[in-house]
Amino acid sequence: MSNLDCQPASEIVIFGALGDLSRRKLLPALYQLEVCGLINEDSRIIGAARQEHSLEEFKTVVLENLNTFVKEKIDDVVLARFMDRLVYQKLDFKEITSFTNLADTLANGNKTRIYYFSTAPAIFGDICKGLNHADLITAADRVVMEKPIGHSLESSIAINNQVSEFFTENQTYRIDHYLGKETVLNLLVLRFANSLFSNNWDRNSIDHVQITVAESVGIEGRWGFYDDAGQMRDMVQNHLLQVLSLLAMEPPADLSAESVRLEKLKVVKALKAINLNNIKEKAVRGQYTDGFLEGAAVPGYLNEDDANENSNTETFVAIKAEIENWRWTGVPFYLRTGKRMPKKHSEIVVHFKKPPHNIFKDSYSDLPANKLTIRLQPDEGVELQMMNKIPGIASQMRIQENKLDLSFSDTYKNERVVDGYERLMLEILNGNQSLFVSRDEVEAAWIWADSIIDAWKASGEAPKPYAAGSWGPVSSISLIARDDRQWVE
C-alpha cells in the first residue's frame, strides 16, 4: 500500500449515493478510513443521485446510515471532518446534458477523480457517455464497477466494451468484495509465507477441498433482480471462483496486480468444462421450499412476495469443480452455496490425505486426515485439525483429535476486523489493482459458468427442492458421496 503522504487528493463521486450499497457499505467504509486518517485532507465525497436533496438533507441521510451500519460509537470529531467532505449532486444518469452540472461541481483543481458506479450495470455506458460529454475523463481518473458485470459472457463483453471506450484497463477497478475480506487475503499469507503449507499444497498431499458459502436469508425483497440471476450468477461465477482461484493459483512473482491476476486467470482457464454431457454428475441446483429457521416458519421461494410461481431459478448450487493442471489433477474442489440454509456460514476446508500406514491401530483404528479450516464468516479464523497424544502414564499410547485454533477475535482482541469494502476503497484511493478483477478473469469465469447454466436449461430439469433451514437437496449429498466423501457441516 502507498503511504498517505503519497496519496493524491481525490474527488470520490458515488453514482447511486442513495442506494442500498452506498448507504450500507460505501459511506460507512469511507467513514472508517476517515477514522484511520487514510483520506487525503483535500479529498471530497460527492454523492450523485436522481433525487432532489439539499446538502443538509443528504448529510442527514448519511448520518442516519452511519448510526445504523457502523458498529462502533461514532466519533464526533471524525464525523465533523467527514461531513465537511460531503457534496450532493442531483443528476439524471441517462440525460447526457445534465453532466455539465457535475462538471461545475468538480471544477476545483487537478484532483484525481474516482467514479464509483453503484448503479445497475445497464446504465454504466450512459454514465461514461455523460462524463465524456462534460469533458470529465482524464488519464489520471479511475472508474469502479460493482458486480454483477452482466448475466452472461455476451452481456459482460457488452458492458465492458461500453466502459472501455472511455477508460483503459489500468483505470478500471472491478469490485468483488470477497477479495477485501481479511480471511480471504490471509490465504496469500497462509500459502506463501508458511513452508508447512506451501510445500504440501498440491495433489500429492491434498485429497480434496470444500468451499461453502451458506446464507440464512431469503431474497429479501429482491425478487426482480434475483430471479433473473439465481445463485449461479449471483455467487458462484464471482465470489466462489475468486476464492477458488486464490486457493489454487501458482505462486505469483510478487504482489503486483499484474502477477496476482495472471496466476488467478490461469486457474479459471484450467477449470474442466461442465456441460450437458456431465452436468448430472458434476453439478446440482436446488430451490428452497417452505420450512423453518430458528424455530420460525419461513416461506418457500415460490411463496415469497411478488414471486413467479413457475420460476425455475436456482437458490442453491453444488458443484464438483476440477482443475486440469499439474498441481491439481485428481483433486476435486467441491463448491456449495445457497439461500435459506441453517445459518450464515462461509468457510474453506482443505482435506489432506491420510497417512499411508497406521502404527497406532491399538489406540485409533482409522486415523483421520488432517483438515485445515479457513473460516470466512461469521467467526473469522484458521483452524488445523490434527492428532495428539493424550497425557498419561498408561502403557498403551492413547491419541485423539485436537484443534489448533487461530480465532481472529480472540487473537487480535484490540484490532477491529476490517470490512472488505474498507480495504478495497483504500486500494482504489492508492491506485492498487491487485485486489480487483481483470476483464480477462471476468470473461473466463463467464465462459465456465455459462456452460453450466446452458446445460441446465437444455436438460429442462427443474431445480431440486430442499426445505428452508436445511443444507440443500439430497442430490447435493449424493454429489460428494459418490466419491466416498461427505460435506463438513
Is residue 53 annotated as a catalytic residue, yes or no? no
**What is the distance between the alpha carbons of residues 441 and 262, in angstroms, rounded to a whole number?**
9
Q: Which amino acid is at 126?
A: D
CA distance 171 to 144: 9
- Strand 206-214: give its sheet, edge to edge: 399-407, 381-389, 371-377, 345-352, 206-214, 332-338, 316-322, 283-289, 464-467
Choice among 177, 239, 345, 351 that is catalytic: 239
- Please name every residue paired with 377 in a beta bridge, in sequence order, or none if there are none: 346
CA dihedral 148, 213, 480, 385 (to 10 degrees): 140
Angle subtended by helix axes 182-192 and 420-430, to nearest 10: 70
Output Rg (C-alpha) for the chain, integer angstroms.
Answer: 24
Q: What is the DSSP pairing of strand 291-293 with strand 296-298?
A: antiparallel
Question: Measuring CA to CA, which residue among 85, 2, 78, 84 is closest to residue 35?
Answer: 78
Backbone angles phi, psi at 96, to 5 degrees: -60, -35
Q: ∠470-476-478 over CA atoms, to 5°?
A: 125
Cβ atoms 213, 346 nearer than 8 A: yes
Q: State which amino acid sits at residue 98.
A: S
Catalytic positions are: 239
